[in-house]
Structure 1
């Protein structure tokens, strides 16, 4: 079991995501005394008799005034069993782009629904996005169960509807768990509730502490986007030339044979430097400077990769896009593609299909992709890029589509078919149902 779990929360507006996260922080004693005092004072100012735990997460003044979450709030907490990095993502439909950001590295997602409202359109949309991003574990927190008098029947109906939807998206039954909770009073969040004797499963925290998850991708081939080229000539480092960046995937060891892409030049790793000294080995998530055995022309944006199982270098690839802009995407659009540390000009050459996350069907050759829609496209780039299929390597199989005019983010992209349902059945005129398989 990994000792670190990266998780994200998602759900519709007013489902209680921030309160749930606040409850987790509060009941695990992960809140500093001065922060808790500030929350108590703010709650009193609002006329509340109990602390508003959502304020532990909703840090932006605009959020507090509107009572909604509009940004991704990251929180860190720990129990004796495991440490957690949690991204609380927005619920409102126009902030789905933030949900993509918050869930992009998650190993598990907690999706909330209001027990009084059940599974909504936004619930199904978030589930599709989580499947698209390859988040392997889902928890459905049926929140505000106290407001429906802890009704087992209501819970079972909601849980079945969501499980059926997640299963249709490709999630195995064992990877989806539904829990009846009340974030406001704490039912089944950290402590088991006496109000739900009919529920025999774990509390939310028990599940988070014990669920098996895949660790960071150390087992996949080594990938290292070059962020910065360091050149110095001092008494300590004569003619020093190093390449700084973050190990995106895999592990690198002194002496490893590597290839520099897109040029395809090969050499070996002579040193692995950090601020704390030299290392013999560095894993995914570690910021290092690599010194190579041979002097090679390397620039920011190049990719240093394992010589064995190196990614393909191509100027044309199929991809799945989650469109995040109010400006519609039409075939032939000229954009920028940001992949790792490299940004290149590109054209969205073809729009093959649009996925309907509500009906779990596809529409062949749509005219455009609108805000929050998911589609499959072919992208041609002005310069070749070293890309992995997202199903093989999440870190180097993902990219951003950027507006060349103003620099705004237009889409999150996954190389290959992140949703196999986007492979439209040619026998269907309006699209057909198909299974969707979350990535690793």
Structure 2
């Protein structure tokens, strides 16, 4: 779950994979089931676009009745979580055989395709790939000051210290002097990369790694925020208001209670 939180907190869209096997689906959406927990975490972490892929349809002989049953049950619980089922594409797939992943499958002639309605209008399709392509990219705030929360910090031989994370707002470029909060360490950015390719600049939504001068991996860590030292750099605050969601609260808090707070 902790790894899932790290990835989901940086995502614009989530694909909820649901096993259609008898017993598997029911276990996943039970009170403590992982399907239910993943959907709740995704919404809690700010993901607003959802695709539901109903997998292993070959194990239930591609029964239309089973697909409709799962769509209804899933729609009910994701609505309670906060998603709008009408804006969600439900796609029956078999990952093992590749059905409806990239190309339309001949194994479900009853399936007329998915349809979703959002503020951008109504979109239709048949496959999981088409559902991914139909996601509307969010607006990217490049005009705001740089904010880049660190996901991790690596020490790479011959290169040095490389923090990685997703640009939330603003732009990061080579030559820029960034400040890491809260340790308030300032340093120059030597280079910016994404997927092993050098970038002239990292924009909001980009998961980037950037090489910094004269900073050791022990001085900065996950959770620190990089910002432009010359444009409203991030800094500590005496107090702040927050909306806190606690999952599976035990009812009372005592010694030894260790929740994961988002």
What range describes the TM-score normalised by the shorter chain of this pair?
0.5 to 0.7
Q: Distance in 2 between matches of 1:213 and 1:173?
A: 19
Q: Distance in 1 between matches of 2:161 and 2:19?
A: 49
Q: Distance in 2 between matches of 1:245 and 1:185?
A: 39
Indicate if the aligned counterparts of 1:166 and 1:176 stay in contact, CA closer than 8 A: no
Unaligned runs of 5+ in 2: 114-125, 155-159
Q: Using a 3 Å threshold, how does the CA distance of structure 1 residues 259 and 370 change in structure 2: closer, same or farther?
A: closer
* Counterpart in the other structure of 1:251: 171
* Counterpart in the other structure of 1:167: 79
Q: Distance in 2 between matches of 1:203 and 1:370?
A: 47
Q: Pick from 199, 219, 225 the counterpart of residue 300 of structure 1.
A: 219
SS at match of 1:314: coil
Q: Distance in 2 between matches of 1:130 and 1:279?
A: 29
* Counterpart in the other structure of 2:212: 289
- Quote how far apart the aligned CAs of 1:258 are: 6.9
* Counterpart in the other structure of 2:147: 223
* Larger fraction in strand: 1
Indicate if the aligned counterparts of 2:174 and 2:191 stay in contact, CA closer than 8 A: no
* Counterpart in the other structure of 1:345: none
Q: Distance in 2 between matches of 1:174 and 1:219?
A: 33
* Counterpart in the other structure of 1:213: 137
Q: TM-score, normalised by structure 1?
A: 0.40
Q: Pick from 47, 50, 53 the counterpart of residue 141 of structure 1.
A: 53
- Quote how far apart the aligned CAs of 1:223 are: 2.6
* Counterpart in the other structure of 2:237: 314
Q: Distance in 2 between matches of 1:130 and 1:369?
A: 29
Indicate if the aligned counterparts of 1:354 and 1:364 stay in contact, CA closer than 8 A: no
How do 1:120-199 and structure 2 match up within 5 A?
120-121=29-30, 122=33, 123-199=35-111
Q: Using a 3 Å threshold, how does the CA distance of structure 1 residues 170 and 308 change in structure 2: closer, same or farther?
A: farther
Q: Distance in 2 between matches of 1:290 and 1:225?
A: 18
Q: Using a 3 Å threshold, how does the CA distance of structure 1 residues 308 and 199 change in structure 2: closer, same or farther?
A: farther
Q: Pick from 182, 187, 191 the counterpart of residue 274 of structure 1.
A: 191
Deviations 1:246-288 (A, max 9, x none): 46423135897976645889x9x9x642399x98644451413
Q: Using a 3 Å threshold, how does the CA distance of structure 1 residues 174 and 256 change in structure 2: closer, same or farther?
A: farther
SS at match of 2:237: strand
Q: Distance in 1 between matches of 2:173 and 2:67?
A: 51
- Quote how far apart the aligned CAs of 1:367 are: 2.6
- Quote how far apart the aligned CAs of 1:127 are: 1.0
Q: Using a 3 Å threshold, how does the CA distance of structure 1 residues 152 and 370 change in structure 2: closer, same or farther?
A: farther
- Quote how far apart the aligned CAs of 1:245 are: 3.7
Q: Distance in 2 between matches of 1:114 and 1:215?
A: 33
* Counterpart in the other structure of 1:367: 253
Deviations 1:6-51 (A, max 9, x none): xxxxxxxxxxxxxxxxxxxxxxxxxxxxxxxxxxxxxxxxxxxxxx
Indicate if the aligned counterparts of 1:272 and 1:290 stay in contact, CA closer than 8 A: yes
Deviations 1:180-223 (A, max 9, x none): 12223332122212232232222112222342334887565313
Q: Using a 3 Å threshold, how does the CA distance of structure 1 residues 134 and 263 change in structure 2: closer, same or farther?
A: closer
Which has the greater radius of gyration? 1
Q: Using a 3 Å threshold, how does the CA distance of structure 1 residues 153 and 217 change in structure 2: closer, same or farther?
A: farther
Q: Pick from 112, 136, 142 the counterpart of residue 17 of structure 2.
A: 112
Question: What root-mean-square deviation, in Å, do the aligned CA atoms of Structure 1 and Structure 2 show?
Answer: 4.5
Q: Using a 3 Å threshold, how does the CA distance of structure 1 residues 219 and 290 change in structure 2: closer, same or farther?
A: farther
